[in-house]
């Protein structure tokens, strides 16, 4: 048997072993959860579920009604995904403790918000007092691809410390939306002005370079940072850095020095896309 065939069998064996391990863990989780309930509670839950199912079935005139409800739910989910940018790819939970008024579960969650991936692990404590249910998040751990960014790292650390999932999702949605907006803007200008616009770091970089093909060495660098503070507030920060040959700089020192200030004024008056568009037209002329 050649090495490639042997390796294929070995890979398949490892995949089967991993599948067995995952199924074993899932079985153990289910078995542990079932230990928290008595036989009477399990039977009562089954009967209650059957009653609810029968009641829902009677309330539906036909399978077409169920299909319509499913399509409506899928449409709502699609709308929420487009609105927030979130797409969850996996979720698992494990019950650690359960009593009549207290439940502790460990959750693992992964997904993407626009182009930014994330993974969460946390413990959720739910307590019931009379008819009120309260929930407390603890042991929160967040993994993000962009955590090497110092702003993101500080925000994530503060969120982990306070166990504030709501702030995390709300802030991540805004932060990722600005990333996506910057990517689309860079793509638009690169496609519209391929001879003038260059993207040294690609669409996911934080700057573009504008070059006049007729003036060698003359460049305008538009830097577009996305600042995220520890409170979760997102702020786009743009600036213009001119790179001008010495002979041009000597002739038009005053005009070149005024470019960054003029660009910032255009940003305030016109917005990001219009300010960049005007700058490209001036450069091209």
* Residue-level pLDDT at 197: 94
- Please indicate, yes or no, whether residues 210 and 147 belong to a single structural domain of this protein: no
- Please indicate, yes or no, whether residues 131 and 181 belong to a single structural domain of this protein: no
Domain end position, chosen among 121, 142, 174: 174
pLDDT above 60 for 22: yes
Identify whether the C-beta of residue 145 lies closer than 8 Å to the C-beta of residue 161: no
Could you count the other beta carbons within 10 Å of the beta carbon of residue 47? 10
**Domain region containing 91:** 83-174
Q: Supply the DSSP symbol for 228.
A: E
- Please indicate, yes or no, whether residues 183 and 169 belong to a single structural domain of this protein: no
- Please indicate, yes or no, whether residues 203 and 168 belong to a single structural domain of this protein: no
Q: Supply the DSSP symbol for 50.
A: H
Give tens-digit pLDDT for 160-218: 999 888 889 889 989 999 999 999 999 999 999 999 999 999 988 899 999 887 777 78
Which residues on adjacent β-strands are paired with residue 234?
228
Domain end position, chosen among 144, 174, 204: 174
Domain end position, chosen among 126, 150, 174: 174
**Residue 27 vs residue 72, higher pLDDT:** 72
Using CA atoms of 252, 257, 261, 267 in order, give the dihedral in degrees to the nearest 10: 60
| 3 state SS of 183 | helix
Give tens-digit pLDDT for 81-130: 777 788 888 888 888 888 888 889 999 999 988 888 999 999 999 888 87
- Please indicate, yes or no, whether residues 92 and 150 belong to a single structural domain of this protein: yes
- Please indicate, yes or no, whether residues 196 and 214 belong to a single structural domain of this protein: yes
Has residue 55 been placed in a domain?
no
* Residue-level pLDDT at 58: 53
Q: Number of structural domains, the chain?
A: 2
- Please indicate, yes or no, whether residues 263 and 208 belong to a single structural domain of this protein: yes
Has residue 237 been placed in a domain?
yes
Contacts of residue 69, Cβ cutoff 8 Å, sequence gap at least 6: 60
Dump strand ranges (E) for the chain. Answer: 86-98, 102-113, 116-129, 132-144, 197-198, 207-211, 219-228, 234-243
Give tens-digit pLDDT for 116-164: 899 999 999 988 887 787 888 899 999 887 655 788 888 999 999 998 8
CA gap 240, 155 in Å, rounded: 27
For the chain, the residue count is 285
CA gap 191, 161 in Å, rounded: 43
Give tens-digit pLDDT for 29-75: 655 554 445 556 656 666 666 666 665 555 555 677 777 777 787 77
Has residue 37 been placed in a domain?
no
* Residue-level pLDDT at 153: 87
- Please indicate, yes or no, whether residues 167 and 203 belong to a single structural domain of this protein: no
- Please indicate, yes or no, whether residues 161 and 207 belong to a single structural domain of this protein: no
Give tens-digit pLDDT for 222-274: 999 999 998 899 999 999 998 876 655 555 555 667 788 888 899 999 999 99
Put residue 271 in one of left, alpha, beta given phi > 0 → left and psi -120 to 50 → alpha: left
* Residue-level pLDDT at 24: 67
* Residue-level pLDDT at 75: 79
Which residues on adjacent β-strands are paired with residue 113?
86, 116
User: What is the Cα gyration radius of the chain?
Assistant: 28
């Amino acid at each position: 048997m050649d090495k490639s065939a042997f390796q294929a069998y070995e890979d398949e064996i490892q995949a089967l072993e991993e599948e067995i391990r995952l199924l074993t863990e899932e079985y153990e989780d289910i078995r542990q959860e079932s230990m928290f309930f008595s036989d009477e509670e399990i039977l009562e839950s089954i009967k209650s579920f059957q009653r609810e199912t029968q009641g829902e079935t009677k309330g539906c005139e036909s399978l077409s009604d169920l299909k319509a409800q499913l399509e409506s739910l899928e449409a709502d989910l699609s709308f929420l995904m487009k609105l927030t940018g979130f797409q969850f790819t996996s979720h698992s939970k494990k019950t650690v403790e359960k009593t009549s008024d207290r439940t502790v579960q460990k959750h693992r969650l992964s997904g993407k918000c626009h182009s930014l991936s994330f993974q969460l692990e946390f413990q959720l404590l739910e307590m019931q007092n009379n008819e009120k249910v309260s929930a407390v998040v603890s042991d929160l751990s967040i993994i993000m691809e962009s955590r090497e960014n110092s702003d993101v790292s500080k925000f994530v650390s503060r969120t982990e410390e306070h166990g504030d999932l709501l702030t995390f999702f709300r802030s991540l949605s805004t932060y990722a939306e600005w990333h996506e907006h910057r990517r689309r803007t860079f793509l638009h200008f690169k496609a519209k002005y391929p001879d003038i616009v260059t993207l040294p770091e690609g669409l996911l970089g934080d700057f573009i370079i504008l070059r006049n093909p007729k003036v060698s060495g003359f460049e305008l660098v538009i830097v577009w940072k996305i600042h995220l503070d520890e409170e979760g507030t997102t702020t786009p920060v743009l600036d213009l850095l001119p790179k001008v040959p010495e002979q041009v700089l000597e002739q038009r020192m005053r005009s070149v020095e005024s470019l960054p200030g003029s660009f910032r004024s255009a940003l305030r008056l016109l917005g990001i896309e219009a300010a960049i568009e005007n700058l490209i037209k001036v450069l091209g002329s």
